[in-house]
Chains A and B, each alone.
Chain A
Amino acid sequence: MPRLTRENIELAREIISRYPRPRSALIPLLHLAQEQDGYVTDEAMEHIGELVGITPAEVLGTCSFYEMLKLEPVGRYLVNVCTDISCMLLGGAELLEHAEEALDLKAGNTTADGLFTLEDVECQAACTEAPCLQVNYRYFTNVAPAALDQLLEDLRAGQMDGDIPPHGTLHRIRQHIPPERAAGPALPDGGQAPAWMAPAEGA
């Protein structure tokens, strides 16, 4: 089972370097592991622990708190149907039921071909465009049952590969701070008034 690849170790180091304390990079690094393997493996957690200087148990402790970090494999497409209040009022629960029938499973499960995992989720902050769903955290809004069928078909046919990367890949544009422009992390025990405050407020 995989630890982080060489490229991902580089990326991990870059991410860690932005924080005053390495542990703060934990969630971004767990996402990186999930991007690499589709879910967060034990080996990746161990490796991340080494990179930020904590134990694998501490990594798991944080990891297990968060809904998006999966400790077991899920489908290539995570289909998250919102059934929360604004969506419920406009057919969110029925949309979920429709998805359950279309995929022949109950929410919380993965299709046998490993293509889809269906989830019944809380508000996605698209309430004025209800009902809505996300596929790998990409939005589809005002979704009618027929549109859901079409979406599943397109996903199966691989027609959305450009728009929707496999589960695990979140944002595809990353922040890079150019070293010559970086102010650098503010270390908590730095202790000095910043230059622009110094005349106003003494250290």
Chain B
Amino acid sequence: MAPLASTDRIVSRRLEQSDAHTIAGYEGTGGYEGLKAALGRPPQEIVDEVKTASLLGRGGAGFPCGVKWGFCPPGVWPRYVVINGDESEPGTYKDRALMERDPHQVVEGALICAYAVGAAQVFLYVRGEMALAQERLAQALNDAYAKGYVGENIAGTDFSCDVVLHWGAGAYIVGEETGLIESLEGNRGMPRLKPPFFPAAKGLYLQPTIVNNVETVCNLPWIVLNGGDAFAEKGAETSRGTRLFAVSGHVQRPGIYEVEFGVTTYRDLLFDPEYGGGIREGHALKCFIPGGASAPWFFDEHLDLPLETGAVGKAGSMMGSGAVVVMDDTTDAVRAAWRVVRFFANESCGKCTPCREGTNWLAKIMRRILDGYGRPSDLDLLRDVCDNISPGLAWPPRMTTICPLGPSAVSPILSTIDRFRDEYDAYIAAAVPAPTTVSIPVRIRAKEDAGV
């Protein structure tokens, strides 16, 4: 698939434009035209346009956006819109770029969403660690209010809606939509059980709430101006339009690339000179994570898969948050898997036992293997713990936990045990018996003066 021409890009059009974050720079390149056009049409038409576009959510779950909007129970008011800018899945870097470099596009997209679903207030939930994104959005909002694009009687119509900038304080799990809502209510960001707490029905303050990812809503101005059909013409099967992928790790040209969805392949993404540009000099591909840390890993034989939800799902993984992490032949598979597992262990919110206990044990067992204390029985033990978190080790996982974080920790372990068993075996063969004075020889991360 030929690389996407820069004129065909939708959400990343302005990423290289140095003044795109200013209101003048945004208005000068068609900014807020989508909102104005939307306000001239009945809200239901906008919902239908987005359904025609077959826009899938870009936050990770890939749920059809227009369908989700339709889930708000009729006659229940007020409704809210919450834009998810908590981006923290390892390997994922695209929402921050959009918020920092084209913040008005986020605001405009959020307003179109609010208009379409009938939401009277929008919250932009930005990850706490992203100071610049918060500054850019704050400035964008201040300017947009002054220009009449946000607030009371937007652009002289009867559409009135505040957009409130909210910022988090560091917790990956808050990216999960019900955790996000808990956090926005001022609580610990622990996910809620779905059902009954599907946000579209019972979300913020238990009112109907549409949670959409930053990139998802950035598509809306274009869809309104160009039509859902034009969007759906790009791509294939379930995966229409264009989509951002962050390609990181051992490629020549790590970067954020907007590609035609559904038809571009992983090979294009990793090897095309316009995208990843191939594996670093003198090395070969070992494996890659096709869609964020939660996704089972892919190998050479998956390179020709198109970036299409169905195809990637059938092959046993997912595109998740559009993060592709590439590892070459120098990579220690056990260490790489451990690092991903450590992430999930650190970020488990602690609400479900299999996840809270399981992810931490997985990280400890992996750590002891790496530290040279592995036991021959450890691989079975790892699989057993995995099975307790994700019964049957199926893909997609059978859920026994409140959210998918727990089962996500299983992916890197199963992928690497299946494929790189020899590397585990080598660690374990070289292992020394554990010192008898310590029952569990793991290094606990603690402050030096913590007294442990």
Q: Could you list which residues of chain A lie within 8 angstroms of chain B, going by C-beta atoms?
A: 18-21, 23-28, 30-31, 52, 54, 61-62, 65-69, 80, 83-86, 88-90, 105-106, 108-109, 120, 122-130, 134, 136-139, 170-178, 180-188, 190-197, 199-203
- A196 proximity list for chain B (CB < 8 A): 43, 115, 118, 157-159
Q: Are A187 and B167 interface neighbours, CB within 8 A?
A: no
Instruction: Provide a sorted-by-A list of 19 A–B residue pairs whose CB atoms are within 8 angstroms.
Output: A20-B205, A26-B186, A31-B167, A61-B187, A66-B171, A80-B129, A83-B339, A85-B91, A88-B335, A108-B447, A108-B448, A109-B448, A125-B88, A128-B93, A128-B254, A171-B132, A171-B134, A177-B145, A183-B121
Q: Are A66 and B89 interface neighbours, CB within 8 A?
A: no
Q: Give Cα A189 to B348, complex, Å.
A: 33
Interface centre among A193, A196, A200 (most CB of B within 10 A): A196
- A195 proximity list for chain B (CB < 8 A): 158-160
Contact A65 to B340, CB < 8 A, known contacts A30-B169, A128-B247, A196-B43: no
The smallest C-beta distance from A46 to any residue of chain B, in angstroms, reads: 16
The smallest C-beta distance from B340 to any residue of chain A, in angstroms, reads: 6
Q: Are A24 and B186 interface neighbours, CB within 8 A?
A: yes
* A202 CB contact (under 8 Å) in B75, B157, B340: B75
Q: Give Cα A181 to B144, complex, Å.
A: 10
Q: Are B166 and A28 interface neighbours, CB within 8 A?
A: yes
- B325 proximity list for chain A (CB < 8 A): 85-86, 89, 127
* B185 CB contact (under 8 Å) in A21, A105, A136: A21
| In the assembled complex, B113 has its CB within 8 A of some CB on chain A | no
Give the contact stretch, choosing among B135-143, B221-229, B356-364, B395-403.
B135-143
Which residues of B270-290 have CB atoms within 8 Å of chain A's CB atoms? 289
Q: Could you list which residues of chain B lie within 8 angstroms of chain A, going by C-beta atoms?
A: 42-44, 74-75, 77-78, 80, 87-93, 95-96, 115, 118-121, 127-132, 134-135, 137-139, 141-142, 145-146, 148, 150-152, 157-162, 164-172, 183-189, 204-207, 246-250, 254-256, 289, 293, 323, 325, 327, 331, 335-336, 339-340, 343, 346-347, 349, 445-449
Q: Are A85 and B340 interface neighbours, CB within 8 A?
A: yes
Contact A201 to B75, CB < 8 A, known contacts A18-B164, A196-B157: yes
- B250 proximity list for chain A (CB < 8 A): 89-90
Contact A173 to B159, CB < 8 A, known contacts A123-B91, A200-B44: no
The smallest C-beta distance from B180 to any residue of chain A, in angstroms, reads: 12
Q: Are B248 and A176 interface neighbours, CB within 8 A?
A: no
Q: Give Cα A80 to B131, complex, Å.
A: 14
Q: Are A61 and B336 interface neighbours, CB within 8 A?
A: no
CB nearest neighbor in B for A197: B118
Q: Give Cα A199 to B134, complex, Å.
A: 36
Contact A18 to B162, CB < 8 A, known contacts A62-B188, A125-B93: yes
Q: Are A190 and B120 interface neighbours, CB within 8 A?
A: yes
CB nearest neighbor in A for B117: A197
